[in-house]
Amino acid sequence: MTAADIHTQYLDYTQMANAIRFLSADAIQKANSGHPGAPLGMADVATVLFSEYMRFHPQDPMWPGRDRFVLSNGHASMLLYSVLHLSGYELTMDDLKAFRQKDSKTPGHPEFGHTAGVETTTGPLGQGLGNAVGMALGQEMMASKFGADLYSNKTYVIVGDGCLMEGISHEALEMAGHFKLKNLVVLFDDNGITIDGSTEISTSTDIKGRIESYGFTYYECDGHDTDAIRQVLDKAQDANKPVFIAFKTIIGKGAPSKAGSHKTHGEPLGNDEIADMRKSLGWEFAPFEVPSSVYDMWASAANRNTVTYERWLAKFKESPKNKKLTKQLQKEYRRIAIEAMEEVKELSASDKPKVATRKASGTCISALAACLPDLVSGSADLSPSNNTKDLSMGEISAKSFSGNYIHYGIREHAMGSVMNGMALYGGILPIGGTFLCFSDYMRPAMRLSALMKQQVIYVMTHDSIGLGEDGPTHQPVEHLAMLRATPNLITFRPADQVETAECYAAALACTDGPSVMCLSRQGVPAIRTTHIPENQSALGAYVLSDISSEMDMHGIIIATGTEVHLALEAQSELMSQGYNVRVVSMPCMELFDMQTPEYKESVLPSAIKARVGIEAGTKFGWGSLIGMNGKMLSVDDFGMSAPASEIYEARGITSAAAVQAMLAQLGK
């Protein structure tokens, strides 16, 4: 008899699963809020998975060699919290009792960085599935670089009907099948129930046909038969492509009168129902009481990984490649990369290239790829337009994961979520490109990047009406405001190649959150023609062209991106008429807002009321910068299909309009 056989003989899966059920039901009842149906229904699957298959170590929750477990249907959070508590993670019974309460470790949906053992923040359905695909892709890439003996983990993700109905599931699953991510195992809680009732009222999809068409191995299993669960998970261990298991379950399993009903999905069971459930399942323990024998069983499930954990650490220590994974060396790579951006700056100031900032971004990405081994770039089928691919980059495919470029296909929804998953997996700095107007498709993933404080760099080109003839469907006008309104998301809009390099350097320094590069299709003149070692863009805004110190300042023109050169032209005309006007370039509003009051006052003196703002987007968010008396040259309607210069003229985004706006404020 093997050690595994002895281990499983000792376990009473019924009691272990019931511990999950009652901890979940009791916590939700105490909070008078929550979703008991899925935790009760998937308790048996979770018990077998964590007892026999999951590779984890509660004392080292971030162990790189661990299996990843993602609860994509994050409303079922009490399933995860119960398992983490029983398995010995740093989650106490008091934490479970504080479910959904202020400042507790058990919020309504799992939050990464808030609770040990939670791999990703889930809630928007389908995002967790996309994260899991990114984690599985990250595992393959890290294994190709550092060896499968160190990176051979699996990624398990529980999904519900809601996750599979959301459109992102199609993109994410199709990607997983295309890349043949053999260590991805999708566990479908196939209970046939959503909030409104039976799934028959809203879907009739042939799930098996759909999943197999993506290139998955598909299994069906009774989700309450532990032997059947074990058998199907056994099959998943040596798969040569991703696995999808449809576990037929009963939502609210164990609740005497509510099991199988949509009423168990999103509301507490009620004290009477839980009391009857205790009698029905023979659970003789009070609320939040778990017998020591059951704790011992769960401890055994966790302790079986001790030898694996110790062997992994020994291998890691012996590996000649492990030094590349140290935080100290990662910081050194970042330092070198920031120096590379300084070199781009210096050369650009000398050469004065008139290029689109998307092309300037491509120059920066090429320089970064040469010195950042963890950089993985990609695009949603717009590589030549986004300039995210350098000729030296190797393409990642199902045959080889050793490259550093991903063709995401036309899948912006999945791209953002997959990039989050790679960042969460560790050892990867994801960069992904599309058009700025398609950030609408990526919005949920970008918001979660910010919420989880993951360093992901979004390259968004064709950033304004300046893209011209493609028309208003492709011309972003409200998108900058939307991005800037997102907490912890840093939005850059550089004016030329020098500012672009500075913005990339600043993004590399922002290790606790994502950044967005908003870049032009059209060429722009060089505005920074003298090399200045200081990263002025990292300050958010700076004085680009000032008045003579002997003169009184009459006004300030503030501009971003491709409109900065218009501000300089307007300044020249105003100065020729005897009006002393300062030009401020503002590549990043968020970073400017973080500066000291003294610095902000030095750039935008409060005494100067005559101000003109110029940006080829909506004026939303500019009020505090230009003041009540200021004038904004903006695009507060959609664009049009025409050459860029004609659209700028039609929308009043010109240097002549800026001159007139300033003169009007000066009473001239």
Sheet holding 631-633, edge to edge: 542-545, 581-585, 555-559, 611-614, 631-633
Helix (H) or strand (E) holding 59: none
Name residue 511's amino acid. Answer: T
Instruction: Decide if 519 contacts 459 (C-beta within 8 A).
Output: yes
Handedness of CA 123, 127, 128, 131 (dihedral sign): negative
Q: Determine how many CB atoms are found less than 10 A away from the CB of residue 167.
A: 11
Q: Are 205 and 211 in contact, with CB atoms under 8 Å apart?
A: no
**Residues whose CB falls within 8 Å of the CB of residue 319, separated by 6 or more in sequence, listed in order:** 146, 147, 150
Phi/psi region, residue 514 (left: phi>0; alpha: psi -120 to 50; beta: rest), is beta
**List of residues 6+ apart from 68 with CB closer than 8 A:** 119, 132, 135, 153, 154, 155, 156, 425
Instruction: Write out the two tokens for 401.
Output: 């994961």
Alpha carbon distance, N-terminus to C-terminus of the chain: 95
Q: What single letter denotes the amino acid at residue 365? A: I
What is the Cα–Cα distance from 466 to 455, expressed in whole angstroms?
Answer: 29
d(CA 524, CA 496): 7
Percentage helix, strand, coil for the chain under 3-state DSSP, each rounded to 5: 45, 15, 40
Q: Kindly state the tokens that stand for 62.
A: 């971030």
Strands 243-248 and 217-222: parallel
Nearest-angstrom CA–CA distance, 306 and 302: 8
- With both helix axes pointing from N to C terminus, report the angle between 327-351 and 497-509 in degrees, rounded to the nearest 10: 170
- Distance, CA of 49 to CA of 43 (rounded, Å): 10
What span, in angstroms and rounded, lies between the C-alpha atoms of 464 and 447? Answer: 22
Contact 294, 10 (CB under 8 A): no
Which amino acids are annotated catalytic? 412
Is the Cα torsion angle 524, 528, 531, 534 positive or negative in sign?
Answer: negative
Integer Cα distance of 37 and 454 in angstroms: 31
How many C-beta atoms surround the C-beta of residue 407 within 10 A?
16
> Residue 478: left if φ>0, alpha if ψ -120 to 50, beta else—which one?
alpha
Q: Give the contacts of 267 (CB within 8 A, at least 6 positions apart).
A: none
